[in-house]
Amino acid sequence: MLTQLSTSKRPHDDAPDTAALFARLAESADGPRRDEVREELVTAWLPMAHRIAGRFRDRGESIEDLRQVAALGLVKAVDRYDPVRGPFESYAVPTITGEIKRHFRDRMWALRVPRRVQDLRNRVRLARRELTQHPGAGEPSVTDIARHTGLTEDEVGTGLEALESFSTLSLDAEPAPDGGGHPLADVLGAADPSYDVVVDRESAKEGLRRLPERERAILYMRFFEDMTQSRIADRLGISQMHVSRLISRSCARVRAEALGRRRGTGGPTSR
């Protein structure tokens, strides 16, 4: 025999007497009839779920989203509730609250942090709120929070740092209304590809100095004056094929010098 839920004194007006509905739910087989009873129970207890969701407002999540999460927790509570364990509210409240807290832990953190750090953050946040409730109370120090929570000052510091990880600033965030700021993306540094060119040029200098004068001249005409191999050959009175070989050999030597793998190619090449 299923134990009837107590209808004497309920702590909240949004805790309806649904003992008969839960009895019908327990007796119903899967199907449309059971689904109707289940939906009726969820509808009856939804105001309580919304009240619980309201406790978590102003924490960076919209009240509409919080109510949806609370409703999900309510559905889980209805599905898992066993009337022999006592009043439904006693089971549903921690179930719904736990669902909302998991939502904050698993989805609202902008940066993933260990569970221990999340717990420190929550204890520090609660302590700061409690310490500033008294009239005239200023912002508590790390020592004040440590004394209030029983944490070490290092742990308090970790919790305070975690508070900054709860939300992030978008790179596309608009400047301040007074016009004194810039989007974050505009003020962040980025790798400049020109640095690689500077490094390569400096690395090649020593190898170029070691080349015979004619080979240096050929590389200068080819890569700085943008002359074709045929024009270089005409100017020097050698074949275009010979110019091509000299360029290939000189570049290989400079590359080896720059990479620290010196491999000599002999002295100047004669005609």
- Evaluated on CA atoms 16, 22, 23, 24, the torsion sign reads positive
Q: Indicate the burial class of 166 (C-beta count within 10 angstroms; 0-12, 13-18, 19 or more).
A: middle
Which pLDDT value is given to residue 167? 56
Structural domain contains residue 169: no
CATH number reported for the structural domain that contains residue 243 in this entry: 1.10.10.10
pLDDT bracket for residue 8 (50, 70, 90)? very low
CB neighbour list of residue 69: distance below 8 Å, 6 or more residues apart: 53, 99, 100, 103
Average pLDDT over every residue of 246-251: 88
Structural domain contains residue 183: no
The pLDDT mean for the chain works out to 77
Which pLDDT value is given to residue 7? 39
Which pLDDT value is given to residue 121? 81
Both 119 and 92 in a single domain? no
Structural domain contains residue 212: yes
How far is it, in rounded angstroms, from Cα 84 to Cα 73? 20
The parent domain of residue 149 ranges over 111-133+140-164
Both 207 and 253 in a single domain? yes
How far is it, in rounded angstroms, from Cα 200 to Cα 16? 77
Structural domain contains residue 116: yes
Which pLDDT value is given to residue 45? 93
Average pLDDT over every residue of 8-17: 62
Structural domain contains residue 263: no
DSSP 3: P
* Structure tokens that stand for 50 in this block: 């919304």
Counting the structural domains of the chain, the total is: 3
Which pLDDT value is given to residue 185? 58
Both 252 and 222 in a single domain? yes
Both 208 and 158 in a single domain? no
Both 24 and 80 in a single domain? yes
Structural domain contains residue 52: yes
Structural domain contains residue 270: no
Q: What share of the chain is helix, strand, coil (3-state, %, to 5)?
A: 60, 0, 40
Both 27 and 41 in a single domain? yes
Both 101 and 35 in a single domain? yes
How far is it, in rounded angstroms, from Cα 224 to Cα 222? 6
Summarised one tens digit per residue, pLDDT across range 80-115 is 888 887 888 888 999 999 888 888 766 655 556 677
Structural domain contains residue 216: yes
Summarised one tens digit per residue, pLDDT across range 40-71 is 999 999 999 999 999 888 776 788 888 999 99
